Structure 1
Amino acid sequence: MKLVIGNKNYSSWSLRGWLAAKQSGLAFEEIVVPLFGEDWEKHQQQDNLQPSHGKVPVLWDGEAVVWDSIAILEYLADKVGRDRFWPKDAVARGTARAMVAEMHASYQALRSECPMNIRKRITGGSFSEECKQDIIRILTLWAEARSRYGGGGPFLFGAFGAADIFYAPVVSRLLTYGVAVPGFAESYMQAVWEHDWMQEWIAAAEDEEWTIQQYDTAQA
């Protein structure tokens, strides 16, 4: 398999696709395409980004081409078994799927005001009321998942899975922008941040030389 991703420092959707590929346990080749760089338009026209219309991440598996992070996760779950990604308990699995779907489709204020930037740390930033409500909603979901289903481990549903994959970029955002969180959330964020795969991604992000100016000046 081949996985096409954007800059590790900035691309939250790429992080989700990459973590999903890691979670699958399958071998894959990683292809990094710097977003908005001088060669971005050229890369968009190349076969390895079609028919995704230049979006990342993109997973190639033989003749199968899958883009969009949630589609990649579901495709891989079909290949290796859904229990690798989702809770075995039907009730917990339903909650996990709802949380992943909400993350995939919502929180526009948080996304726009706090773009992912792993290398950056900001203190004293201000947030719109809409962004604050997004954060409160996420923390509420985390609290429910941890209290109801998290007894088997430090992650949202105990073991690391699809919900953690989709909320990992949120963990990064909350750390970057210095958002104060309750103790249970701080413990969960630490577990995600210290996960071996996250540490691998973070180290690669810190080594990247590419910069995207509009993301580096956000909340400055």
Structure 2
Amino acid sequence: MPRGAPANADRMKLFIGNKAYSSWSLRGWLACKQSGLAFDEVVLPMSTPAWDQAQANELAPSGGKVPTLWDGDAVVWDSIAIIDYLNDKTGGTRFWPQDLVARGFARSIAAEMHSSFTALRGAHAMNTRRTIPTPATEAVQADIARIMELWAQARARFGGEGDFLFGPFGAVDIMFAPVCTRFMTYQLPIARFAQTYVDAVLAHPFMLDWIAAAQDEQWVIDKYEPSATA
């Protein structure tokens, strides 16, 4: 059994950070929900003894990162890796478009979300408990403009009659879900069509469950609260 493996490995176990703040945890959790497979979630509140202890145990294989998914002897971390692992485990029908052209575009914009938009992510940390109207800097506006471009292309070319970027809810919506929460939290300016999409993401049952759970968390981390700039 790998180092740090949970003692009871009968069900998948997903280790995540605070639901109020951890955008990458949200992605991993949505992937597990979208898979339809049974899993146990373990919330490790950041900056607490439980978090510190997990660094040397369940999170050790990932270098202390969340989300980390344990599935028997398999350990997977990084949100896209978790999506792809669960996609393989469920037969390739729940996450990515079946059409090759659509799937190529979907993977490209999911990867761009994974590696880019640092201005938006740095200036507007995820906080699903607050509404904090905040002006967008020029760099953030540039990130938003690029996101609007990607969303418009996806919706026009592949959205069809569905509510999400490629019709049904899937991997790309999972990757952009924390961005949707940022647009809500900070009241950032977005296109009208994009607001319809954001509303659909935030109204998804998985998102409603996550946000409701975040409201019940008692932990507060000052750097992610209104006075934070990063």
SS in 2 for 1:13: helix
Deviation at 1:40, TM superposition (A): 2.5
Deviations 1:135-161 (A, max 9, x none): 110011011111111113100000000
Aligned residue in 2 for 1:19? 30
Give, as a single letter, the amino acid of the residue that structure 1 aligns with 2:143. D
Whether contact under 8 Å (2:135, 2:188) holds in the other structure is no
Q: How does 1:169-180 map to 2 (within 5 A)?
A: 169-180=178-189
Question: Do residues 114 (structure 1) and 153 (structure 2) align?
Answer: no
C-alpha RMSD of the superposition: 1.3
Deviations 1:153-205 (A, max 9, x none): 10000000000000000000011111122221111011000000000000000
What is the alpha-carbon distance in structure 2 between the residues aligned to residue 39 and residue 88 of structure 1? Answer: 41
What is the alpha-carbon distance in structure 2 between the residues aligned to residue 113 and residue 158 of structure 1? Answer: 30
Give, as a single letter, the amino acid of the residue that structure 2 aligns with 1:190. D
Give, as a single letter, the amino acid of the residue that structure 1 aligns with 2:192. G
Matched-pair identity in %: 58
Q: What are the ranges of 5 or more consecutive residues in structure 2 without an aligned counterpart?
A: 1-11
Give, as a single letter, the amino acid of the residue that structure 2 aligns with 1:183. R
Q: How does 1:78-93 map to 2 (within 5 A)?
A: 78-93=88-103
What is the alpha-carbon distance in structure 2 between the residues aligned to residue 175 and residue 72 of structure 1? Answer: 26
Deviation at 1:84, TM superposition (A): 1.1
What is the alpha-carbon distance in structure 2 between the residues aligned to residue 175 and residue 85 of structure 1? Answer: 24
Give, as a single letter, the amino acid of the residue that structure 1 aligns with 2:207. M
Aligned residue in 1 for 2:52? 41
Q: How does 1:57-68 map to 2 (within 5 A)?
A: 57-68=67-78
Question: Do residues 194 (structure 1) and 223 (structure 2) align?
Answer: no
**Normalization by structure 1: what TM-score?**
0.96
Higher helix fraction (1 or 2): 1
Choose from 123, 132, 137 the match for 2:141: 132
